[in-house]
């Protein structure tokens, strides 16, 4: 077992579920001594590559020069906050720093509740491990924390807003750009705006990945009232933030970035964002993901296996026609030296581009082994229902590959 046996937290890790000894760029050396190509990349938090020299040397310099202090703010905090705000491009906004996406999303909920004096939260997508996001007993019912899930289904969001008119503090959603059509995201955002409720784009996963800050406003045509960022910020160091309209954020005044100032994640973030900016990072991440997806699709077709590669950007999902095929593929890829995020999104880093050929070779070997275990064409393809279930696992909500009515039936099964 990779998890230390006295630690209780059951964190999902990649097959073959071994511990990391060291890591560099696209590669992770596990406790079996083998070098793996990593497509988990800290669940998408590593965008430059493991132990990237730009980040590591910035931290080392910071320590050598004994900069900043745990007791005080530093100019580094100002530079980073101004930069993020500039990247988002909204005027009259304020920002609060936290350590984790979970904390930033909780802060969004609490700020919205304090600002509006209302309690109900309409939510779609994953926002952290906290009890705020526990499942309710029935669809469209709020859980004990006052959160109702609308699963990215516009019709459900409309119902939630109607049922709780005058009580909604916030609509919060985590955009998906793999399974969800841009038009659906636009409809969802528009419904919130028409109802004049606050809207938070939880960009913990997507932010600072395919472009600086958020692609949300480009996708839907206007800005959310609040944004959360985390994974794209600092190449695997623990940092998150909540940014939003000054009037709303004023309610977050007392939400302390805990008691003290750990400046290493700030330094890591500045180095990460600098590097991404000065090396066409976002564009390269998207291109690398697209090239990888094409390469994987070509291989899958050659072996005539019923496996789909969804996504064309920095995040991909591999979905096989059956659960058994899925499991065999992941196990076989692990044996060839690929770390994959089983059933969830694969995420490239800038370092992935350097090992694309070798990555595809390993994926091919994984496919060869898999094709020897499974007869071709049974089933011939990934069904809509199967795709829906796979997407549900990745986005914690319903993709729009099926009708709203069908989605609601399938959501009831998945819950």
Pairing of strands 168-173, 147-149: unpaired
What 3-state class would DSSP assign to 245?
Answer: strand
CB atoms within 10 A of CB 258: 11
In this structure, are residues 209 and 314 in contact, taking their beta carbons and an 8 Å threshold?
yes
**What does residue 157 show for φ and ψ, rounded to 5 degrees?**
-60, -45
Q: Is 66 in the site for a copy of itself (CB under 8 A)?
A: yes
Rounded to whole angstroms, the Cα distance separating 264 from 45 reads 16
Q: Is 366 in the site for a copy of itself (CB under 8 A)?
A: no
Q: Measured from the CB atom, is 54 or 140 closer to a copy of itself? A: 54
Q: Is 10 in the site for a copy of itself (CB under 8 A)?
A: yes
Rounded to whole angstroms, the Cα distance separating 233 from 207 reads 8
Q: Is 95 in the site for a copy of itself (CB under 8 A)?
A: yes
- Interface positions, 114-133, toward a copy of itself (CB under 8 A): 128-131
Q: Measured from the CB atom, is 71 or 375 closer to a copy of itself? A: 71
**What does residue 113 show for φ and ψ, rounded to 5 degrees?**
-65, -45
Q: Is 415 in the site for a copy of itself (CB under 8 A)?
A: no
- Interface positions, 193-232, toward a copy of itself (CB under 8 A): 231
**From the CB of 226, what's the least distance to a copy of itself, in Å?**
12
Q: Is 368 in the site for a copy of itself (CB under 8 A)?
A: no
Tokens of 338: 């690929």
In this structure, are residues 397 and 152 in contact, taking their beta carbons and an 8 Å threshold?
yes
- Interface positions, 317-336, toward a copy of itself (CB under 8 A): none
Rounded to whole angstroms, the Cα distance separating 95 from 245 reads 9
In this structure, are residues 213 and 87 in contact, taking their beta carbons and an 8 Å threshold?
yes
Angle between helices 404-414 and 384-395 (to 10 degrees): 60
Closest C-alpha among 74, 90, 133, 61 to residue 257: 74
Which residue in 135, 181, 183, 256 binds a copy of itself (CB under 8 A)? 256
- Interface positions, 258-297, toward a copy of itself (CB under 8 A): 258-262, 264-265
Burial of 369 (0-12, 13-18, 19+ CB in 10 A): middle
Binding part of the chain for a copy of itself, among 37-45, 210-218, 274-282, 322-330 by CB under 8 A, reads 37-45
Q: Is 135 in the site for a copy of itself (CB under 8 A)?
A: no
DSSP 8-class letter at 285: H
Which residue in 159, 257, 295, 327 binds a copy of itself (CB under 8 A)? 257
**From the CB of 376, what's the least distance to a copy of itself, in Å?**
33
Q: Is 30 in the site for a copy of itself (CB under 8 A)?
A: yes
Which residue in 35, 54, 77, 193 binds a copy of itself (CB under 8 A)? 77
- Interface positions, 46-65, toward a copy of itself (CB under 8 A): 46, 50-51, 56, 59-60, 63-65
Binding part of the chain for a copy of itself, among 13-21, 154-162, 324-332, 373-381 by CB under 8 A, reads 13-21
Binding part of the chain for a copy of itself, among 153-161, 234-242, 277-285, 313-321 by CB under 8 A, reads 234-242
């Amino acid at each position: 077992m990779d998890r230390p046996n006295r630690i209780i937290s059951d964190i999902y890790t990649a097959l073959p579920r071994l511990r990391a000894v060291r890591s560099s760029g696209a590669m992770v050396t596990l406790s079996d001594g083998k070098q793996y190509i990593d497509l988990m990349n800290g669940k998408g938090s590593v965008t430059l590559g493991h132990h990237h020299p730009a980040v590591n040397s910035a931290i080392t310099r910071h320590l050598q020069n004994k900069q900043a202090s745990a007791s005080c703010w530093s100019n580094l905090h100002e530079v980073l906050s101004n930069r993020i705000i500039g990247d988002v491009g909204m005027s009259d906004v304020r920002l609060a720093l936290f350590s984790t996406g979970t904390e930033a999303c909780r802060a969004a909920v609490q700020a919205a509740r304090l600002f509006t004096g209302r309690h109900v939260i309409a939510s779609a997508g994953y926002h952290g491990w906290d009890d705020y996001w526990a499942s309710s007993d029935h669809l469209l019912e709020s859980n004990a924390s006052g959160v109702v899930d609308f699963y990215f289904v516009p019709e459900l969001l409309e119902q939630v807003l109607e049922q709780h008119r005058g009580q909604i503090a916030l609509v919060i959603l985590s955009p998906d750009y793999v399974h969800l059509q841009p038009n659906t995201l636009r409809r969802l955002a528009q419904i919130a705006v028409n109802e004049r409720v606050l809207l938070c784009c939880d960009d913990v996963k997507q932010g600072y990945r395919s472009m600086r800050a958020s692609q949300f406003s480009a996708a839907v045509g206007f800005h959310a009232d609040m944004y959360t960022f985390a994974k794209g910020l600092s190449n695997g160091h623990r940092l998150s933030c909540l940014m939003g309209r000054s009037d709303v954020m004023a309610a977050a005044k007392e939400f302390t970035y805990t008691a003290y100032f750990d400046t290493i994640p700030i330094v890591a973030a500045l180095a990460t964002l600098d590097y991404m900016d000065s090396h066409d990072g976002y564009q390269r991440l998207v291109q690398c993901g697209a090239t990888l997806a094409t390469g994987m699709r070509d291989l899958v077709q050659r072996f005539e296996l019923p496996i789909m590669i969804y996504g064309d950007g920095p995040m991909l999902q591999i979905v096989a026609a059956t659960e058994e095929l899925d499991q065999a593929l992941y196990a076989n890829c692990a044996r060839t030296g690929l770390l994959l995020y089983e059933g969830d999104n694969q995420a490239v880093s800038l370092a992935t581009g350097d090992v694309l050929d070798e990555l595809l070779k390993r994926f091919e070997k994984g496919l060869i082994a898999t094709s020897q275990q499974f007869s071709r064409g049974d089933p011939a393809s990934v069904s809509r229902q199967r795709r829906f279930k796979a997407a549900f696992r990745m986005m914690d909500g319903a993709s729009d590959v099926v009708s709203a009515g069908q989605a609601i039936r399938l959501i009831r099964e998945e819950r």
